[in-house]
Structure 1
Amino acid sequence: MAAPGGGEGPAGLAGGPAAGGALWAEVRALLPGAEEGLTLALSGEVEDCVLPLLRRARGLLYGEAGRPCGAAAAALQRLGDVLRDYSWEKLNAGPWRERVRTDPPPVPVVQPEVALPHVHCPSLEHFRDNYLIPQKPVVLEGIIDHWPCMKKWSVDYFCQVAGCRTVPVELGTRYTDEEWSQKLMTVSDFINQYIVNENTVGYLAQHQLFDQIPELKEDISIPDYCCLGEGEEDDITINAWFGPEGTISPLHQDPQQNFLAQVFGRKYIRLYSPQDSENLYPHESQILHNTSQVDVEDPDLVKFPNFRKAAFQSCILMPGQVLFIPVKYWHYVRSLDISFSVSFWWS
């Protein structure tokens, strides 16, 4: 998903007179004529802190004789940044997923003609020239065999080292569902209810887990290939992904290069080139513009006819394997077992 600050806020409202005036005229044409016409009917799942921010933003929109300027425009921009970043965090930063468990689809058969290439411990030069520069996905083997987590990590181990930690729990099959919401619980409660209990499914996507639990961070290391990027090591975002069989990340794209390292369990993954974006029917809303509307494994080809034109590659990512997902590459992920993965987002 797009990182906080990556989208475009109402910066033009605080810019020069010409640019700001033209942009504001377009925005104003989309708004109701009076402030009371812009209703703020929100779901009961939205946190209480959001509504006052929206009311404040609405007041700024209709203040200053119908056009915010100066300090009001700057305040409106800051509110837009806060609300956008709040939305991004709710969608991406710490979600767990829960849904009623049904019989999962069978394990897909990856046909040779669509199978991703596998390479064992390529040199930095080989990876750079054959995959990074041409932006081609690849499964890397043998590069995390030395990680302590490959021998230590299990469901029981997480109960021991992180069981008392309180984490956000996401309710809903995937973040695109209308009924999606969140609650808080400890890791132990989550494992007991959603990993051990087979009636429901939960999923952890937590980018702060390794900072909060040093024991886990000591068991992994940043892949050497990240040194080929333009950023510093401190700029690399490390994410934890933990959940049972059947959890899904819908087809989406991310704004950075990604190494997805599989510690235990298996994942079925499909990749589509950014060149096929038009055939993947991204959502029209700004928040979900990098998420496809198509259910990859059960597509509605009447509603999305061009999806059949999109070429894909796929793999079943096994423990010890690392998938390189180039920036902006569309990817769909379904866990085939209780699974733990670590991803590294880098530039």
Structure 2
Amino acid sequence: MAEAAALDPPLPGEDVKPFTPEKAKEIVMCLQQPAVFCNMVFDWPVLYWNAKYLSEVLDGRTIRFRMGMKKRDAAPQFETKCSYVEATLEEFLAWTSGQPTCVSRPFSCYDSSKYWAYADYKYIARLFEDKTEIFKVNRLLYLQLRTMQDIMWSDFGFPGRNGKESTLWIGSAGANTPCHLDSYGCNLVLQIQGRKRWHLFPPSNTTFLYPTRIPYEESSIFSKVNVVNPDLKHYPRFTKAQAHVVTLNPGQVLFVPRHWWHYVESVDPITVSINSWIELDADHKARVEEAITRTLVCAIKSAENPSPVDAWLNPTEVEATSHEINLQYLNGAMSAYLEYQKVTVSEDRDLSTHDTEKEASSCKRRKMQVNPKPEDYKSGTHEAGITMVKAKKLEKIPFGVHLIPVLPQSQEASSVGAGAAESDSRDRLSKNEEGHFGKSCCTGKQSVMSNDCKTLAAQTDSDSTANSSQMAISTNDLLDCLVNPQVVSLVAGLLLERERV
């Protein structure tokens, strides 16, 4: 079985991890291209967290699954175009294995040959928060699970970071996340069961990926392009994009650097993975940019006549916030950034590494509070901790069998397996010796469609060129220009400069 590979004990002589926590952290904080860590998690208890095991542990607890179609349209299948099902993992497993509908009842309206299901963005601390009584009743289960301690990001140099700061993803074959970049932090992803294929694009490809903030979600910038079936007539610049493709196997950890675009798809019938977003110093300015974006998007879209076909708010966002609250958020983010600048202006950026990291939140998105206070930003309460590590640049990249670079698709095969790692490591290492190394918790997904037997919403292209309209320029067209990442970065710089004088 796919998950067995992750559970095999290390061979004699391989029970020592290739990188110390200090070295792993140094790599993570300096690496500027995606890479796969191997042989770093063989003793993590979380490797037993396959879907069957989780089904037994959660014992009938329902989870929200996002349902999408397996057919490949030219437009991305955004979350606003999906339907949602509340089901247990037991019912999910019955559905994926083709058992009778009486066993997989919540999925009875969906043909597993045509649809995929994805339980994504499940914050582990929240998922297990109601299991206290089970722990009290079954001491053995409690000791075996120890939910938070089963995940040991301390091996990557982040002491105290465990399941509390991690997110769980469970999907069927074809389940995918639309191509996007995360505004905050960098990303560590551990594959537990099955395989996932990652299509990654460097930040320099942003223009080629036609960025959009519709659907709007704080901290996620989506691409209008379906990168696995691109519509080159409407998005001709995509031909210049340089994809880095890798298939992540159980037991491997993928590092996704800051602002790298990524499209992720489940390859095998069932996949399970966990991840943790690592906060970075650069997030201070990113939060100012996100606040500007939110203020503009909410103001302009809220002023539009409501349309049932224009689902502009992603299901991860509960509601559009008022202009007053958004301005409070903006001012708080700016105050935090300016305070950070004062603290760090005298530091020698080329020297020591600060090994202290404030406690970090489990969520990727740092949602704004209803009444945020400037001191919340300054103290780190609102941002839930910023990584203060300033690791010096590594003189030599330690690429090899234990750290495999994800190279452009034209340069390297797309699968990183144990065999590939062994056979290609020397060549990869020699080729890269002179290179360089370089998210308040969100609420659960809310349903945007009625949970019945209706077909999924029609797949419509979010680009105005594919939608007929009486107006030559739509509100979304205007927003694509106003909140283009480059424009927002410039506006943030101008606002911050005003506050400095």
Instruction: Report if aligned partners of 2:180, 2:263 keep a CA contact under 8 Å in 1.
Output: yes
**Residue 65 of structure 2 aligns with which residue?**
169
**Residue 142 of structure 1 aligns with which residue?**
39
Deviations 1:196-231 (A, max 9, x none): 5544421111113254557372572232365469xx
Equivalent residue of 1:192, what SS?
Answer: helix
**Residue 261 of structure 1 aligns with which residue?**
190
Deviations 1:7-40 (A, max 9, x none): xxxxxxxxxxxxxxxxxxxxxxxxxxxxxxxxxx
Residues 223-238 of structure 1 aligned to structure 2 (within 5 Å): 223-224=153-154, 227=157, 233=161, 237-238=165-166
Residues 148-167 of structure 1 aligned to structure 2 (within 5 Å): 148-150=45-47, 152-167=48-63
Alignment RMSD (CA, Å): 2.9
Work out which of the residue numbers 221, 229, 232 in structure 2 matches 1:301: 232
Letter in 2 for 1:142: N
Instruction: Report if aligned partners of 1:235, 1:346 keep a CA contact under 8 Å in 2.
Output: no
Number of equivalent positions: 225
**Residue 104 of structure 1 aligns with which residue?**
none
Equivalent residue of 2:212, what SS?
Answer: coil
Residues 116-127 of structure 1 aligned to structure 2 (within 5 Å): 121-124=18-21, 126-127=23-24
**Residue 68 of structure 1 aligns with which residue?**
none
Separation (CA, whole Å) in 1 of partners of 2:77 and 2:150 = 28
Letter in 1 for 2:51: V
1:321 CA displacement: 0.2
Matched, 1:204 2:100: no
Deviations 1:259-292 (A, max 9, x none): 1000111111111112211111112436156111
**Residue 331 of structure 1 aligns with which residue?**
262
1:322 CA displacement: 0.2
1:141 CA displacement: 0.6
Relative to structure 1, is the Cα distance of residues 328 and 305 closer, same or farther in structure 2, using a 3 angstrom cutoff? Answer: same
Q: Which moved more, 1:202-211 or 1:187-196?
A: 187-196
Separation (CA, whole Å) in 2 of partners of 1:234 and 1:148 = 12
Letter in 2 for 1:176: F
Separation (CA, whole Å) in 2 of partners of 1:261 and 1:145 = 11
Residues 1-347 of structure 1 aligned to structure 2 (within 5 Å): 121-124=18-21, 126-150=23-47, 152-173=48-69, 176=78, 178-194=80-96, 196=98, 198-199=112-113, 200-205=115-120, 206-207=122-123, 208-212=126-130, 215=145, 217=147, 220-224=150-154, 227=157, 233=161, 237-254=165-182, 255-285=184-214, 287=216, 290-337=221-268, 338-347=270-279
Equivalent residue of 1:201, what SS?
Answer: strand
Equivalent residue of 1:159, what SS?
Answer: helix
Separation (CA, whole Å) in 2 of partners of 1:210 and 1:256 = 25
Equivalent residue of 2:238, what SS?
Answer: helix
Using the aligned pairs only, state the percent identity.
27
1:192 CA displacement: 2.0
- The structure with the largest strand share of the pair is 1
Q: TM-score, normalised by structure 2?
A: 0.41
Letter in 2 for 1:220: D
Letter in 1 for 2:95: Q
Instruction: Report if aligned partners of 2:200, 2:243 keep a CA contact under 8 Å in 1.
Output: yes
Relative to structure 1, is the Cα distance of residues 221 and 128 closer, same or farther in structure 2, using a 3 angstrom cutoff? Answer: closer
Deviations 1:123-181 (A, max 9, x none): 4454455552243221001111101232x333332221123102223233476155423
Relative to structure 1, is the Cα distance of residues 144 and 130 closer, same or farther in structure 2, using a 3 angstrom cutoff? Answer: closer
Relative to structure 1, is the Cα distance of residues 163 and 201 closer, same or farther in structure 2, using a 3 angstrom cutoff? Answer: farther
Separation (CA, whole Å) in 2 of partners of 1:318 and 1:292 = 26
1:331 CA displacement: 0.9
Instruction: Report if aligned partners of 1:210, 1:216 keep a CA contact under 8 Å in 2.
Output: no
Instruction: Report if aligned partners of 1:136, 1:326 keep a CA contact under 8 Å in 2.
Output: yes
Deviations 1:235-255 (A, max 9, x none): 963110111211111111122
Separation (CA, whole Å) in 1 of partners of 2:213 and 2:49 = 40
Q: 5+ residue gaps in structure 1?
A: 1-119
Separation (CA, whole Å) in 2 of partners of 1:130 and 1:234 = 19
Instruction: Report if aligned partners of 2:147, 2:163 keep a CA contact under 8 Å in 1.
Output: no
Separation (CA, whole Å) in 2 of partners of 1:140 and 1:209 = 27
Instruction: Report if aligned partners of 2:21, 2:156 keep a CA contact under 8 Å in 1.
Output: no
**Residue 333 of structure 2 aligns with which residue?**
none
Relative to structure 1, is the Cα distance of residues 238 and 160 closer, same or farther in structure 2, using a 3 angstrom cutoff? Answer: same
Letter in 2 for 1:193: W
Instruction: Report if aligned partners of 1:167, 1:185 keep a CA contact under 8 Å in 2.
Output: yes
Instruction: Report if aligned partners of 1:248, 1:333 keep a CA contact under 8 Å in 2.
Output: yes
Equivalent residue of 2:200, what SS?
Answer: strand
**Residue 110 of structure 1 aligns with which residue?**
none
Letter in 2 for 1:295: N
Q: TM-score, normalised by structure 1?
A: 0.57
Equivalent residue of 1:146, what SS?
Answer: coil
1:183 CA displacement: 3.6
Q: 5+ residue gaps in structure 2?
A: 1-16, 70-75, 100-111, 132-141, 280-501
1:294 CA displacement: 0.9
Separation (CA, whole Å) in 2 of partners of 1:187 and 1:343 = 20
Separation (CA, whole Å) in 1 of partners of 2:264 and 2:130 = 26
